[in-house]
Chain A
Amino acid sequence: DAGVTQSPTHLIKTRGQQVTLRCSPKSGHDTVSWYQQALGQGPQFIFQYYEEEERQRGNFPDRFSGHQFPNYSSELNVNALLLGDSALYLCASSQGVTTNEKLFFGSGTQLSVL
């Protein structure tokens, strides 16, 4: 049983570029959340997708957008990259939207913006 998978594992971009990160949830899960973790900080909630819609959003600008597909997989898009966007991006999946603790995280995508 595959857990949460994310791709790519590492990515290097330059300022102003756009990036797309991908996530496949754990089998049986239908909800995907995205978190940004800067070095030395805890993960910060970006947004959550359920039934192909954004259900909840954290304090992130509109440059951060996402999508969920019918197979529950998800993408995170970041436009006009800034140096400060360099971070570990974590995807977490769960079954439904009511049970917070049953989150399973992927191993993340390390994004470096030069």
Chain B
Amino acid sequence: RKEVEQDPGPFNVPEGATVAFNCTYSNSASQSFFWYRQDCRKEPKLLMSVYSSGNEDGRFTAQLNRASQYISLLIRDSKLSDSATYLCVVPGSARQLTFGSGTQLTVLP
């Protein structure tokens, strides 16, 4: 099993839609999780951190299910500017980040 697995995508949704991405991880000892956003071949940027059961920031909600070892990212009222690749990230041993392969989102007008 891969350390971090994400929905393969791509997701194509209309403006205003709600979309959710799932991510599973294998290391049950992981305590914190992250969602990064990456625009086309640019650098990843931290979107949200998840430390306990979940985190909400405006239209974005991240949830954590430790028992099932998955995290999710929900985007409400999608905007054209939300089009990007969303990377699920789990810290590895001490100082490295393990990235999922990413889920591509395209919000259509």
Query: Chain A interface (Cβ within 8 Å of chain B)?
Result: 4, 31, 33, 35, 40-45, 48, 55-56, 58, 88, 90, 97-98, 100-101, 103, 105-108, 110
B43 interface contact, C-beta 8 A: yes
What residues on A are CB-neighbors of B42 within 8 Å? 107-108
The tally of residues in B whose CB lies under 8 Å from a CB in A reads 23
Contact A42 B87 (CB under 8 A): yes
Known contacts A98-B95, A103-B97; 7 further A-B pairs (Cβ under 8 A):
A41-B102, A45-B92, A48-B96, A97-B94, A101-B49, A105-B45, A106-B43
Contact B101–A97 (Cβ < 8 Å): no
- Indicate if B22 sits at the interface (CB-CB under 8 A): no
Q: Tell me the bound Cα distance from A105 to B97 in angstroms.
A: 12
Q: What's the nearest-Cβ distance from chain A to residue B7, in Å?
A: 13
Chain B residues within CB distance 8 Å of chain A: 4, 32, 34, 41-46, 49, 87, 91-102
From B32, B46, B49, B98, contact of A45 by CB (8 A): B98
In the complex, which residues of chain A have a beta carbon less than 8 angstroms from the beta carbon of B34? Answer: 100-101
**CB proximity of B37 to chain A, nearest CB, Å:** 11
Tell me whether A58 and B96 are in contact (CB under 8 A).
Answer: yes
* Inter-chain contacts of A55 with B (CB < 8 A): 95
